[in-house]
């Protein structure tokens, strides 16, 4: 079920990001650095945690270490207009879902433009 959820989430977000002008509303809402974990996935599948090159294993350690202090995970995927995300992107989402943490998606790698999926 968790795999289906993350796959569905990516299919929806990939279709939504099909152009330079996103079909979603963007909020100028910066990710709260003190109460969140910021993760970016590059096109090549590199994992960047809180601005530092990382790995999936390190991301999991950070999730476990900060279990009580993290209120959300701020997530960004480079070139979201690509239909197929790198497998590491799905793995990151699966780790977050397993922790039952809220995920906020950001359009930019600086985590300043939050994607608003509300209508």
Whether pLDDT at 110 is above 90: yes
pLDDT tens-digit map of 55-82 = 999 999 988 887 678 889 999 998 877 7
The pair phi, psi for residue 42, each rounded to 5°, is -85, 170
The pair phi, psi for residue 69, each rounded to 5°, is -95, -10
In contact, 115 and 26? CB cutoff 8 Å: yes
The pair phi, psi for residue 57, each rounded to 5°, is -60, -45
pLDDT tens-digit map of 32-59 = 888 899 999 999 999 999 999 999 999 9
For 54, the enclosing helix (H) or strand (E) is strand 52-54
CB-count exposure of residue 21 (10 Å: 0-12, 13-18, 19+): exposed
Q: Could you list the residue range(s) of the whole structural domain that residue 33 is in?
A: 2-116
In contact, 81 and 14? CB cutoff 8 Å: yes
What's the domain count of the chain?
Answer: 1
């Amino acid at each position: 079920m968790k795999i289906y959820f993350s796959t569905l989430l990516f299919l929806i977000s990939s279709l939504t990001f099909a152009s330079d002008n996103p079909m979603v509303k963007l909020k100028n809402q910066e990710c709260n650095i003190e109460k969140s974990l910021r993760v970016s996935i590059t096109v090549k599948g590199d994992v960047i945690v809180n601005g530092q090159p990382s790995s999936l294993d390190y991301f999991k350690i950070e999730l476990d270490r900060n279990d009580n202090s993290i209120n959300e995970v701020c997530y960004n995927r480079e070139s979201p207009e690509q239909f197929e995300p790198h497998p590491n992107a799905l793995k990151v989402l699966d780790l977050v879902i397993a922790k039952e943490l809220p995920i906020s998606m950001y359009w930019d790698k600086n985590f300043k433009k939050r994607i608003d999926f509300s209508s």
